[in-house]
Structure 1
Amino acid sequence: MNTAGTATAAAPEELGNVKRLPILISIIIGAFFSILNETLLNIAFPELLVELQVSAPTLQWLATGYMLVVGVLVPASALLVQWFTTRQMFLGAMTLFTVGTLVCGTAPEFSFLLAGRLLQAAGTGLMLPVMMNTILVLYPPEKRGAAMGSIGLVIMFAPAIGPTLSGLILESFEWRWLFYFVLPFAVFSIIFASIYLKNVSTVTKPKVDVVSLILSTIGFGGIVYGFSSSGEGHGGWSSPEVYGTVAVGGVALLLFVLRQLRLKEPLMDLRAFKYPMFTLTTLLLIILMMTLFSTMSLLPFLFQGALLMTVFASGLLMLPGSLLNGLISPLTGKLFDKFGPRALVIPGTLFLAVIMWFFTQVSGETSKTSFLILHICLMVAISMIMMPTQTNGLNQLPQRYYPHGTAILNTLQQVAGAIGVALFIGIMTSGQRSFLEESSDPTSPAQMSEAMVSGVHNAFVVGFAFAIAALVLSLFIKRTKAQAE
């Protein structure tokens, strides 16, 4: 048995007198505001394009870079949670996040804003493993669905509510207040955790494999950078910068996988994939995260660029769906405990496919009411799928694989979200460019609006294809039980 199993298994024996609620509150406060920042800036992108004087593909690095750093850091989480205590990990993560938030709020130009976002992302990347592993240690499998529903309130509700909060704030204040608003909550989280957060993990300090760290960084970084660069300039996928970095990333990931399978103490134990429901869970979550984050990025461009809505109106339009998303997540967790995953996941993916098809039919004449209904339905469908699928997959793993299972899921979710944003904005940008190249008057506001609709339509067609793939995968899901060690 590897040290990851020792660390996780040893902790529960010492938790008899630990109060779960203060620990859960401490983690949720910090995690909510750190994950919130994944989409907090999205609705401000059109305003930032003008103020910072950068292109849309360059600006999207504020979202893609955030998720990329999180995705690069999380592979090391299975190692870090064994080197540092729960308090050290959490307080260190929140300190990094708070410093990054301050840098963003005071940034004089794009490069400083991006640097601050990357610091925020580093804090979030360290936060995710603390949150997931703490829940797995504190709660037994029979109560884990409801507990994971609480995590769903953070993982799903926080990024979903980001655009709405942005719209409300930007109606009266400049974009810097998006960070000034978060700053006091981040400081409060540090103070609250200093008082109430207890250590629930065992520090074993396993060997650090530097080669694995380097390979995972190059692998995930190269792939996401390549996808992000595909929307820049006129080269697209024919550019050596694009296919070259993707190829390098792919080779590095292959070497990373081969190395993990040979090591006695791997950075990320990929043997977790021998459990079929965990593998199915991973594939489903990759598709869902690409759909969620890409849709959250595309809608602000469509609302403000094609429908000429204000920032406040855009945020308000997305509020009901975001609220329902958060309210339904704990409920779906309880329903999962009672009925299992198939009763939620199969109808949810079917619902998602239908919704994404309707998104491919939208135009500049589509009513605000239609967009409101579509967004609400999208959030409900994702709530039905996300946490039940994740809980079912993790439940099949033996306890010694918990740190590695959570690291795998968190890494691939974040990287999938980053690739989704990059891919869909790249498709949108290419569609706009193609439309305007064939236009007789490309500078006309009407033609630019139609170009935006054309680009977003192309992106939603790809999203619909992803939803169909998710539906097919969901048909194979089965209820799992914890495996013996």
Structure 2
Amino acid sequence: MDKQITETNRKVLLVVLIAGCFLSTLNQTLLNVAMSDFMDVFAVKAATVQWLSTGFMLVNGILVPITAFLMKRFSTRQLFISSMFFLLAGSALCACAMNFGMLLTGRMIQAIGAGIIIPLLMTVILYLYPIEKRGSVMGTIGFAMIFAPAIAPTLSGFIVEYYSWRWLFIGLIPLVLIVIILAFKYLMNVGETARTKLDILSVFLSTIGFGSILFGFSSAGSKGWDSPIVLTAIIIGLIVTTLFCLRQVKSDEPLLNLSVFKYKVFTLTSLINVLVTMIMYADLILLPIYLQDGRSFTAFEAGLLLLPGAVINAFLSPVTGRMYDKYGARPLFITGLLFIIISMWGVTDLTESTTYLYLMIRTVILRIGLSFITMPLNTAGLNALPRELGSHGSAVNNTVRQLAGAVGTAVVMTVYSIQTASHAAELAKEAGRISSGQLAKSASIFGSSDSYLFMLVLSAAALALSFAMPKKKVVSKQNQS
């Protein structure tokens, strides 16, 4: 830890970093309830518009493996300010998008900035705070990171309902500019830089590997799992990703140090991270689709339903951070996953008469569960690693999270699309008795229920893994210094 950094400097540094992280996280989920609106504005299908979310996470997933290198090569100030400029440029392009391709390009540029910030923030925490305080600090950061998606759906719904979708991006621009000004004035560097060499082949392999896997999963919803394009993309992705992993294991200076998986607790938290992230991101897209397409609620009403649960999630985050410092990860994971399982089981039988209040309470239960898992998961994994592997552990964590979110969204949307089409075909036999509009709504509702049944299975698998966590906190000896 840099002895020159005082307690006041730490707080200022954290405030600036968290402000940037808040805007990046807000931006990531800001479009979820606006998807139906984009489908109408740009005349695209659900499988296409999904790329506004999936593509954002894909760029993050591709970029995050490089962040361990970037954090060695460039200073905290350079990385943070650069990421904010990418967010600014992407927002400006999206705000004046004339077609879907332009909008998607802007989202990709935004994602470059967002991909750097969270791993940077996590690594800075490892430098600034001792083991016994990290749970509480992560909890405070969790408040900011969770409060952004808490207000994003409601804010987005209100803007889409009463103004233009372009204000989703125009409104970000002055906020990003303020953070850039603050960063130039107050942000200081943490750690030391080194002139390490970038492994271009590893970057190429990770980009092709992760990109192909995601393209295959995302295309399955519209093209079908038996499509040669889908199968080829997934197979190529798996082969190239395997080559990437083998290269990292053999390299003296790996782009992404996979030796972090030698630590049992880190591996367990990564697996649980995959499942929980798949559930979380899929729910953020699936529930608004059910509300808007199946129940004809407005985007604002859909966003408003998500608000109470997400606000509770944000306020519980500092509490669960302190609980982690006191009790360790296992009891928190088990408690949280029991809440998640109850919330998933509660929406496996959705109907046209499922009440708004019921869905709101169910979402609150889900978010209480997530508050016991999200930040303690990161803290437990990173604490199990030696200090020198901290940046790589953070990069691996975020690579796993971004790809799991993207693949999870793609898989659940595939389940939704296939099941909705299947139910529509069954209901078409009764076409004489119901209108085509009613048929589409009913099929969408049944498809949503089937998707939540799939997510219930994922929740149960995550709970089973949480029992394998050690009863006491595991801390790497090298990480205690």
Q: TM-score range by the shorter chain?
A: over 0.9
Aligned mates of 1:357, 1:308 — CA distance in 2: 23
How much has 1:264 moved relative to structure 2? 0.8
1:473 to 465, 474, 477: 465
Give 1:5's aligned residue.
Answer: none
| Conservation of the 8 A alpha-carbon contact between 1:74 and 1:128 | no
- Residues 313-370 of structure 1 show CA distances to partners (whole Å, capped at 9, x for unaligned) of 1111111011111111111101111121122111111221121111212222111111
2:69 to 79, 85, 101: 79
| Conservation of the 8 A alpha-carbon contact between 2:57 and 2:111 | yes
Aligned mates of 1:131, 1:175 — CA distance in 2: 30
Give 1:395's aligned residue.
Answer: 383
- Where do residues 83-482 of structure 1 align in structure 2 (5 Å cutoff)? 83-233=73-223, 236-438=224-426, 439-440=428-429, 441=431, 444-478=436-470, 479-482=473-476
| Conservation of the 8 A alpha-carbon contact between 2:350 and 2:446 | no
How much has 1:458 moved relative to structure 2? 1.8
Q: 1:47 aligns to what SS in structure 2?
A: helix
Q: 2:361 aligns to what SS in structure 1?
A: helix
Specify the code of the residue in structure 1 equivalent to 2:363: H
> Which runs of 5 or more structure 2 residues have no equivalent in the other structure?
none
Aligned mates of 1:433, 1:362 — CA distance in 2: 17
Q: 1:232 aligns to what SS in structure 2?
A: helix
| Conservation of the 8 A alpha-carbon contact between 1:81 and 1:129 | no
Q: Percent identity?
A: 40
Specify the code of the residue in structure 2 equivalent to 1:481: V
Change (3 A) 1:137 1:364: same
| Conservation of the 8 A alpha-carbon contact between 1:294 and 1:424 | yes
Specify the code of the residue in structure 1 equivalent to 2:247: R
- Where do residues 65-76 of structure 1 align in structure 2 (5 Å cutoff)? 65-76=55-66
Aligned mates of 1:160, 1:267 — CA distance in 2: 34
How much has 1:13 moved relative to structure 2? 4.3
Aligned mates of 1:179, 1:129 — CA distance in 2: 24
**Mean Cα deviation higher: 347-356 or 117-126:** 347-356
| Conservation of the 8 A alpha-carbon contact between 2:76 and 2:189 | yes
Give 1:4's aligned residue.
Answer: none
- Residues 268-314 of structure 1 show CA distances to partners (whole Å, capped at 9, x for unaligned) of 11001111000000001111111001000011111111111112211
| Conservation of the 8 A alpha-carbon contact between 1:35 and 1:154 | no
How much has 1:194 moved relative to structure 2? 0.8
| Conservation of the 8 A alpha-carbon contact between 1:160 and 1:296 | no
Aligned mates of 2:78, 2:339 — CA distance in 1: 42
Specify the code of the residue in structure 1 equivalent to 2:87: F
Specify the code of the residue in structure 2 equivalent to 1:390: N
- Residues 372-392 of structure 1 show CA distances to partners (whole Å, capped at 9, x for unaligned) of 001011111011111112211
Aligned mates of 2:398, 2:148 — CA distance in 1: 15
Aligned mates of 1:115, 1:109 — CA distance in 2: 10
Specify the code of the residue in structure 2 equivalent to 1:347: T
Aligned mates of 1:370, 1:44 — CA distance in 2: 23
Aligned mates of 2:466, 2:150 — CA distance in 1: 23
TM-score by length of 1: 0.95
How much has 1:418 moved relative to structure 2? 0.7
| Conservation of the 8 A alpha-carbon contact between 1:393 and 1:480 | no
Specify the code of the residue in structure 1 equivalent to 2:395: A
Aligned mates of 2:460, 2:162 — CA distance in 1: 41
| Conservation of the 8 A alpha-carbon contact between 1:352 and 1:378 | yes
Specify the code of the residue in structure 1 equivalent to 2:55: G
TM-score by length of 2: 0.96
| Conservation of the 8 A alpha-carbon contact between 1:52 and 1:110 | yes
2:478 to 465, 468, 484: 484
Change (3 A) 1:105 1:443: farther
- Residues 176-234 of structure 1 show CA distances to partners (whole Å, capped at 9, x for unaligned) of 1111121111111101111111001211121211111111111111111111000114x
- Residues 139-159 of structure 1 show CA distances to partners (whole Å, capped at 9, x for unaligned) of 111100011112222443323
Give 1:35's aligned residue.
Answer: 25
Q: 2:399 aligns to what SS in structure 1?
A: helix
Aligned mates of 1:195, 1:397 — CA distance in 2: 33
**Mean Cα deviation higher: 215-224 or 164-173:** 164-173
Q: Report the number of matched residues.
A: 473
Aligned mates of 2:256, 2:144 — CA distance in 1: 24
Aligned mates of 2:177, 2:378 — CA distance in 1: 30
How much has 1:160 moved relative to structure 2? 4.0
Q: 2:127 aligns to what SS in structure 1?
A: helix
- Residues 77-114 of structure 1 show CA distances to partners (whole Å, capped at 9, x for unaligned) of 10000111000000000001100001111101100000
Aligned mates of 2:231, 2:7 — CA distance in 1: 55
**Mean Cα deviation higher: 162-171 or 369-378:** 162-171
| Conservation of the 8 A alpha-carbon contact between 1:40 and 1:166 | yes
How much has 1:174 moved relative to structure 2? 1.4
Aligned mates of 1:17, 1:434 — CA distance in 2: 60
Specify the code of the residue in structure 2 equivalent to 1:463: M
**Mean Cα deviation higher: 163-172 or 91-100:** 163-172
| Conservation of the 8 A alpha-carbon contact between 2:350 and 2:448 | no
Specify the code of the residue in structure 2 equivalent to 1:469: A
| Conservation of the 8 A alpha-carbon contact between 2:91 and 2:172 | yes
Aligned mates of 1:333, 1:482 — CA distance in 2: 19
Q: 1:108 aligns to what SS in structure 2?
A: coil
| Conservation of the 8 A alpha-carbon contact between 1:38 and 1:63 | yes
How much has 1:422 moved relative to structure 2? 1.2
How much has 1:262 moved relative to structure 2? 0.6
Aligned mates of 1:160, 1:292 — CA distance in 2: 13
